[in-house]
Structure formats: C-alpha cells, structure tokens
Structure 1
C-alpha cells in the first residue's frame, strides 16, 4: 500500500490526548505525511509539544462539543475528509451520536448497536462460545437500586471489574480501581457498598482468577473493512502491563506474534454480527491448561496499536484505503517479530521470568528491533523529548511503587 495521490485529501482527527492518541497520529504521519488534530481538553506534553499534531481544545468530550470542533476543523480544511479515530472509551458515545450527521466524516469506530452486542458481557460470552473461543467463568452483578447483592458462587480469589467502561470512567477519577483482586467475600461486599455510596448504578463482573503473570496475556488487533472482510490481523505476547490503579491491565511492553486459528475465529465472530472497523481483544493463556481465555473485545484500535505499525503493517492505511478511497486491500497477517515498549528495556527484563521468553527479548534488543511510538525521529523536538524522558522516569517510579516484583497472578 504505497503513498497515493489522494493523501492530501484527508485530515486525521484523533479524539483523545494520551500516548495511544500520539501513536495513531504518528501512524498517519508515517503513512501519509499529514499532521493530525487532537481533539481533547488537555493533551499530554508529547502531543502539546509535537510537530506532527495540532490541538483543538474542547470543554467536554460530549457530542455537542465534539461536533462543533469537527465543524471548525472542516471549515479550515474545506473539501477534505476528516478521518475521526479514537482509542478513548469515553469518546465513543460522541462518535456514535454524530457519525451520520456530518457528510465529510468517516470513522473506523463500529456502529453503536454492534458495540452494544460485544460490550454486553453475556452476549460476548455467547458469541465467543459459538465461535470456539473460551471465556472465564463470569457473574454479572447489577449495582442499581438497594436490593442486597447475593454472595459470589465462584471460588476465591476472584477478579472484579466494571461491565461497561464508559459509565465507570469518572469513578476512576474518584479513586476507584480499574480492576480489583478480591480474596474474600467481605472485600466484595465492601466494594459493592462503596460503589453504591459513590452513586455507581451500573454493573460489575466477577470472574474466576486466571493465574499467571503479565507474560500470559495476549493482544489481538483486527481491522474489518466495510464489506465485512478482515484485512489486518495483528497479535502480540504481553511482557509487562501497567500496575498503577487507574491504568491496570494496559500493556507497556510486548513482542509481536502470529496467532493463526485464533485470528480467524475472532474475525468470523465479528464479521458475522456486522462489526466493521478496528477491534482489540484481551486474551489470557491459563498456565494450568494452556487454553486461551477471552476477556473482552474493545471497539477501538487499542492503546498499543503501534506494535502493528512497527512490525510492518500500518493500521491507518487499512482504514483510509477502505473508508476514504473505497479500495480493497489484500489481507495482511503480521508475522514479523519486534519488541514494542513504552518503558526502558532494563525495566522490562526485570519482570520476564521465563528463560525462553527472556532469550527472545534479548535477541530483539541485540538486533535493534525495539520500537517506542513516543520516540519518533521526525518529531524529535527538544521539549517533546524531555517529556518522553520524564514519562519513562515516571513509569520506573510507578513500578517501584505498585509492582516492585513480578507475582504469579500479576496482582
């Protein structure tokens, strides 16, 4: 997929202002040489001080403010198609609300009715089983109302997490965690009490704990084009995840790996329900049985989308060729092995206990096949590189505080 004469006809618009948003902007810049516009209240330093980004400030990420921002961007770029991408769960409702109102907007975000199907835990588990994908034992707990909540029937320890991320996002700002590791029923009862007292009326999932440290996690990235054909198949073995309470479960280092068989089943499951656009699956291999268990599918590209690009398949090309130019793209299955990391490699090495995996990691470091989306030569201004170094330093501090040593459950 070489550069096309139409590359100047697009304006990449990214809702969000974190590392994941920076990576998407970099992917557009690598593919088309275009600057992206970040639409967010306050972007992080590496976007604010970037040469490849403009910044369109909004008061909120509600539909009205986002619509007004897109209208302003369009007024400055008449005749161009705005390719609106987000990797931020709280921004998805705004895209759903306005996607069909503005004729100059295209988006690889799936339609709301399809998102609802994969976000509904019971339905997701049903779809997985129908496609030969295993899921952990799960209970759905509804916190709305005041009825007493029955004790869990799963053996402890268990994992508890919100069933729908968008409705929970602002509770994280109040000090609630993204994921809870729960050893006793009393702790679960206390969590339900605290959530209700804070006004949370959504649902939580209680799941069996699948053992194994971060290195048992896998990530899968897919793009399903507008005809329902899967064109991008990416996958990676996680080496290390973030352990700060608000970021828990976000990978910070991974090695790309092909996942034949699983890829096809995931893609078929999505195509069959009319899913179009990017999808990112969280999977964990059970150390006891070796089977892969599917936790969820995110209706977005994933914070670590750059691992696909580093391995030779730029995700933004698949989306632009499909949505802007209406061209069929030959499906790509990524089999090129690279190390993707947001943290210093010496930190990653400390947490990899499997000798075979450590040997793979060291071989990639020696071969110079190490990629960090923040470190981009075409965007290496001094102010931004200081931001990158401060971010990395902060990561080292966070691990010291929240996860000083690897554990057998990653909690």
Structure 2
C-alpha cells in the first residue's frame, strides 16, 4: 500500500534534525535526511534515515541526484516533499525547481523573487514598497573602494554603524582573518578598515551600511511563518530572543527564545507576505527602535529559521502545518501562536547567568516550572547513546563560549 508522503530534508545540521523531529512527533515517521557530509546532529539518529551523497554539493549534479533518489522512493510514497535546512540548499532547490517538480512537492518561491529577497538591497526595496520599517541603510560596492573614506564621512547618521554583506551566501564562502558575521563599528576608521578587510577577500558583492539599533538581545523579535501554495499565510509564531550566540562568526544566532504576541507585527507581515505572493516557510529578524517606537526588520530567511523548533515546541508543529498546506491542501484561516513557551539552545544555567532583566528571568522560571520548555537536539524517542552524549557536550561548550565572548549590549 502506497504511503501518503515522505519529507526529504536537505542538510544534516540542527535545523534538519529539528524538522525531522517535528515530522516524527506528528506522524511517527522517519524523514529522509540527505546531505553532502555527516554532522553529529543527525548522525546515528534513530528518528530519521540519513543518506550522504557527496555529489549533492555539486550544483551541476544537484537536480539529477535528487531525481535519482526519487525513482525508488516513488515506488512507496505518493508524495515527496522537499525541505531545506540552509540557504545554500534553498538556492539550489529554487534554481532547479522546474526540474524537480515532476518528482517532488517544492514548497518554495520562484527564482526571480528569491534573487530579490536574498539580496538585502533588493529586500529593503520591497520593504519600502510594502511599507515595512527597516533601519537607515546605504549600499556600497567594491568599485567605490578608492572613494570609500568620503562615502563613509558623508553618512547622515551617527556611530556605531553596522556593516554586513548584501549576499550572505557569497560572504559565507569567503575566508579571511578576523571575519565576523556582521561588524559593529564605533568610528569611521574602524568601519573603513572592516570594508577593506572584506573586499581584500574573495567577496566582491555589495555591502550594507546600516544604522545601529540600540538595545540588548531581548529587544529583538523573530517571526516564523508558513504560507500555503495559494500564497495565504497559514501560521505565524513570534518569539522574543533572550540571548544570542556571542561567538563573532555566529552573531545573530539565537540561543534562547521566549513566546511573544503582537497583533500589529502579525498584521504587517501577513500583508507583506501575501502582497508579494510568498510561498513556504519564512523567517524574519527585527529589533525595536526606541527612537521611533517601531520594530525594524533586518532580513528574511527563505526557510524555517535555525531556532524555529521554538514553533514546534510551542505546540504548533511546523511539519504538520507544512503537510496540511502542501500535501492535503487544507484551507483555513491564519493561526497566530499564543502559547507560553521557552526554547533553549544553551543550558538553563548559562541563560540565567547572562540574562539580566529580572522580569524576563521571572517569565523564564515560570516556563521552566510549568514544563513549557523545548530544545531542538534532545528528544526522548531518539535513544542513540553516542549521539546524545555528543549533544550533551555540544550544549555544554556554551559555558566556555559565553565566558570568552559575551559582552553586554547597550
């Protein structure tokens, strides 16, 4: 008897594990996780089937590899649905969407929209058109390097200034000393030095100069959404980050999130997504600006976020919502997550040591006392002892990480 569906998850990282865990929780099934190399997060797991295919990393072979895998799977499953755990896999899936659609459900936007949204310059232009607030921004290019000092001196906002790449994937591939995910520069000299450092590497795409929005990590908000094949938003879940990873190359990766609810944010971003005809998972990062009293968006991820098991842990299983929308094509009104929950990507002890606001500590303790807590990588149904030991060590290393890198944010 043919089974209804099988999730095929690309990537072997914690994001991939979180999605496989969601599908296992909802349906008791083992997803197929396919990647070009093993990572401890999925290796040895008993809740998924892992397939390592080195050729998956070769863009010219990507569609052929997946279509070959589909040949055998389609003998057993009516529907194969693709999920990406990283930006690189999103880009490949979207680029080869037409070649994959005969064998897979591909719950992603088309390439023209992806290319616009993947560029921070393009994303901010759409924000402007759709009325989403974003920080003051200036785009610079490598061709302007000789005149960079004059360009920087003409900025019409004060320091610190944030410097970050417009093309995250090309920047990820660039390797150079002192590389940071984003730079917070407190003077023109430091900003100019950082620009030259980046452009002396293989990165040659535009850079974004942006006003710094003051406030600690709890001033951030992270919004996870799912839009159906008709472009209508099915699920919205808002979280308040409590701490970010302080490692310079991982700045912006959340390590603890508590539930938040904001009707204005939901309304704004629902209008934005439906206005551009968005399809599939989306993930937004934004920060509250005390100067304007508004949340300003930094970026969109064209997939579920790395910390988005927060959504499933809150009681809104991302895997189930995806299957309802794209396999069973169920129609329903937008659901807005409103359950109390705490997601942890670090040990509780680390969170309580470095979280300063007493009101947030109180809310954290309430979630813990009421057992309203989840993690991505621990799962009682996954009983591989060696994997669980690696997970324990992985979380434990954050004690040293925070001691080494943590700096209070004003």
User: Same fold by TM (over 0.5)?
Assistant: yes
Matches within 5 A, 1:327-342: 327-342=330-345
Displacement of 1:318 in angstroms is: 2.0
Superposed, 1:260-299 pairs within 5 Å as 260-299=263-302
Tell me how far 1:351 sits from its aligned partner. 2.2
Query: Given that residues 130 and 275 in structure 2 are in contact (C-alpha distance below 8 angstroms), is that contact kept between their aligned partners in structure 1?
Result: no
| Structure 2 length-normalised TM | 0.92
* 3-state DSSP of counterpart to 1:43: coil
C-alpha deviation, 1:142, in angstroms: 1.1
CA change 1:289–1:312 in 2 (3 A) is: same
**Alignment TM-score, normalising by the size of structure 1:** 0.92
Alpha-carbon distance in 1 for matches of 2:72, 2:144? 48
* Distance across 1 between alignment mates of 2:176 and 2:48: 27
1:61 to 2:64 alignment? no
Tell me whether 38-47 or 378-387 shows the greater mean CA deviation: 38-47
Please name the residue that 2:151 is paired with. Answer: 151
Structure 1, residues 248-303: CA drift from partner, whole Å, max 9, x if none?
10111001222212112112112111211111010111245542111111111111
Which residue number in structure 1 is paired with residue 89 of structure 2?
91
**Residues 132-151 of structure 1: pairs in structure 2 closer than 5 A:** 132-144=131-143, 147-149=146-148, 150-151=150-151
Check whether the contact 2:174–2:202 (CA below 8 A) recurs between aligned residues. Answer: no
* Structure 2: tracts of 5 or more residues without a match: none
Distance apart, 1:221 and its partner CA? 0.8
Question: How much has 1:157 moved relative to structure 2?
Answer: 1.1
Alignment of 1:59-208 (within 5 A): 59=54, 60-79=56-75, 80=77, 81-102=79-100, 103-144=102-143, 147-149=146-148, 150-152=150-152, 153=155, 154-171=157-174, 176-208=179-211
SS of equivalent residue, structure 1 residue 246: helix
Distance across 1 between alignment mates of 2:135 and 2:18? 31
Q: The residue matched to 2:88 in structure 1 has which SS?
A: helix
Structure 1, unaligned runs of 5 or more:
none
Matching residue of 1:211: 214
Q: Within the alignment, does 1:345 sit opposite 2:348 as a pair?
A: yes
Helix, strand or coil: the match of 2:300? strand
Count of aligned positions? 402
Q: 1:144 to 1:199 in 2, by over 3 A?
A: farther
Give the alignment partner of residue 6 of structure 2, picking from 8, 11, 22: 11
C-alpha contact 1:157 1:209 (8 A) present in aligned 2: yes
1:52 aligns with 2:47: yes
Q: Residue 389 of structure 1 corresponds to which residue in structure 2?
A: 392
Going from structure 1 to structure 2, the CA distance change for 1:233 and 1:97 (only over 3 Å counts) comes to same
Instruction: Tell me: CA distance 1:145–1:93, structure 2 relative to 1, closer, same or farther (3 Å).
Output: farther
Residue 86 of structure 1: how far off its partner (Å) = 1.0
RMSD over aligned Cα atoms: 2.1
Q: What SS does structure 2 have at the residue aligned with 1:46?
A: coil
1:37-63 Cα deviation digits (max 9, x unpaired): 222222321300101122222335343
SS of match in other structure, 2:258: strand
Task: Indicate if the aligned counterparts of 2:350 and 2:398 stay in contact, CA closer than 8 A.
Answer: no
Q: Which of these residues, 395, 404, 407, is aligned with residue 409 of structure 2?
A: 407
SS across alignment from 1:279: strand
Deviation digits for residues 134-156 of structure 1, max 9, x if unmatched? 21111111125764324321321
